Chain A
């Protein structure tokens, strides 16, 4: 039985400081996060452990003390009451959603992340002089060869050989772009011996990120980026779990796309966990295939496979879908959150492939890349512009602009699968179905007594005793069902720790 696919998304946002002099993106990112932390949070809790040496474990799980805390930079690094982590990474504000128990829940927290950035931006701009402004974009490239990521995380069974994961997820990652891509004008592929496939009549491609991948498998995330990232840091019980850290995706504005990206990938990974796989459809040259698929907005190009066959990206996706339908029949859909959501993922996946086969423009309210293409074609036609006109490049940035007054993504009629109410709630309330519930509720209720928090533990200072660490090595424990009443009843952290220790 596959491990339940606990999922999360980390997004690095683009940041622009519009001012007369020089601007520093690290300082600007800090300003954004500090404005939020100081303006909206009662209690500031740091994510990293710094020099703290938590001694005693509340539940006596001393064997886990050997786990070294995550070493972080000294930049702003906060944990939020919705269980998320909000910090400066390199020169970008980054927000990691709390752990979610299914794809749809994660879409809500991804939208809540946007909302948090919008509030941060507004709070920071209130502090700036009138002629300065901080602007945040949810994108992955500046159009000039600089890229920043939107990473997905999936919980996997430690027993599954990593080679099997690589073999069977690689063809999926190369081809899922056709319904996961956020679209981009132009290309940023380093020229030379890796000349890109020719564009059709327009310099437009399906993915923001495909230009930046140079390896099939590896540990890097900033240089020589690999299609399958091998970072092995489960933030959970290392004896039982892996975490697949996926760096190949785009940051989507479309909720449907974020949902399907997470949902289909969870499903394929559950199949790999259960060894429910067929002959791999491995591209002969995966990196070239990744770019070829991204450039191929007609969806007609053939990918040469290791076994000598040639298949279109969409045909490879049909094969995965077909196998997933069989998997659903034989194994059920519990690992992705149950039959309701699992079948919805399968049906939408099929609808997406069907739409892409018949008329991609029919998906203009579901896929970012199609929405962009429709918009740019219309705009270029109306104003009689060439495709290299800076106005189109401005549209390509402004699509991702989070300012409600400027965002184009908010204006193109994208289908919603969340409601404003649930997104607003998710800004401050954790998901009830993962350990993020325990983290978020503790912060909300006992913030003053928490020294630090991390994905897999929290450190309390209850006064006289040594600091106390509560390990949270099971992503699906610490839920509302498990600890909701306990958290409601406890008046302070000391009582909570005493009762947890019982």
Chain B
């Protein structure tokens, strides 16, 4: 039983330490900026005619 708890101790717990809040929101802003950059790049590389690309993507079953 003790070992079971040891394994799961790292499972999620509510954090009550409010001093982390600022860091967390900064982190979230950073993540949002990262995602925006990523989405800019995706807009550039996405297949130009997505609908046709998807329609023509037909594979034979395998294995």
Task: Name A's B-contacting residues (CB within 8 A).
Answer: 12, 14-16, 18, 25, 89-92, 94, 141-144, 146-149, 151, 221-222, 225, 247, 318, 321-322, 325-326, 350-351, 353-354, 357-359, 374-375, 378-379, 382, 390-391, 393-395, 397-398, 405-406, 408, 411-413
Contacts and interface: CB of A to CB of B under 8 A. Distances in A.
Contact of B7 (A143, A318, A413): A318
A328 B3 CA distance: 13
B57 A222 contact: no
Interface in B28-45: 34-35, 38-39, 41-42, 45
Given A318-B7, A354-B10, A394 B39 contact: no
A390 B50 contact: yes
18 contacts: A15-B59, A16-B57, A92-B59, A143-B54, A146-B58, A146-B61, A149-B62, A149-B63, A222-B61, A325-B7, A326-B3, A350-B7, A375-B38, A391-B50, A408-B42, A411-B41, A411-B42, A411-B45
A25 B54 CA distance: 17
Contacts of B59: 14-15, 25, 91-92, 141-142, 144, 146, 148
Interface residues on B, range: 20 to 34
A92 B58 CA distance: 12
A463 B21 CA distance: 77
Contact of B46 (A221, A247, A326, A398): A398
A14 B41 CA distance: 24
Contacts of A141: 59
B62 A147 contact: yes
Contacts of A379: 39, 42
B41 to A, nearest CB: 6
A501 to B, nearest CB: 40
A353 to B, nearest CB: 8
Contact of B60 (A90, A326, A353): A90
B46 A390 contact: no
A371 to B, nearest CB: 10
User: Which DSSP category, helix, strand, loop or mixed, fits chain A's interface?
Assistant: mixed
A358 B35 contact: no
B62 A90 contact: yes
Contacts of B50: 390-391, 393-394
A161 B38 CA distance: 50
Given A354-B10, A374-B35, A394-B54, A148 B41 contact: no
Given A390-B50, A397-B54, A412 B63 contact: no
Nearest to A377: B35
B26 interface: no
A375 B63 contact: no
B63 A222 contact: yes
Nearest to B15: A358
Nearest to B6: A325
B63 A394 contact: no
B4 interface: yes
B58 to A, nearest CB: 6
A148 B38 contact: no
A141 B61 CA distance: 8
Contacts of B45: 398, 405-406, 408, 411
